[in-house]
Homo-oligomer: A and B are copies of this chain.
């Protein structure tokens, strides 16, 4: 089985501070290695995105940025997002016009996303079987694949079958 889970669904009580710290540390390291600058704005936007495991919209980021930095404007956010996308630190969810942190920024890939319609949590896969099947089918029509947008909607394990005492309805932690 070639299933590679980049970011699984998290339990409601997982230590989310850890997720954020890891993601930021990894980003710092990677940017240093590549000789690109993770400026305060870019770092803060990444941190805001990692506040939860749900996709975040650009103008929500802008609102939160503005609360801290009077000068924040749409370009402020979109430039930071462009940088983070470029460096593979976040992904864009096309069907939501929203952005989410990447759990495995070091190696370049396109994500395959499982999006919970109820709590909005997102898990990320990078699955070779999926790539293979799609490339094969495309190949049958003579089509040469260069990139893929794969976004699956449905119910995450917690919302599908909530255990007693388990919180649902939020992906904020």
Using a CB–CB distance below 8 Å, which chain A residues touch chain B?
1, 3, 5, 8-9, 94-95, 112, 114, 116-117, 123, 125, 127, 129-130, 133-134, 137-138, 140-157, 160-161
A-B contact list, 5 entries, CB within 8 Å: A114-B141, A116-B143, A130-B137, A141-B157, A144-B154
- Report the bound CA distance from A17 to B63 in whole Å: 50
How many copies the complex holds: the figure is 2
Which residues from chain B contact A154 at a C-beta distance below 8 Å? 138, 143-147
The answer to whether A149 touches B95 (Cβ under 8 A) is yes
Which residue, of A143, A147, A149, has the highest number of chain B Cβ atoms within 10 A?
A: A143
Chain B nearest CB, measured from A134 CB (Å): 6
- Report the bound CA distance from A137 to B126 in whole Å: 10
Q: A94-B149, A150-B150, A151-B94 are in contact. Are A142 and B129 (CB under 8 A)?
A: no
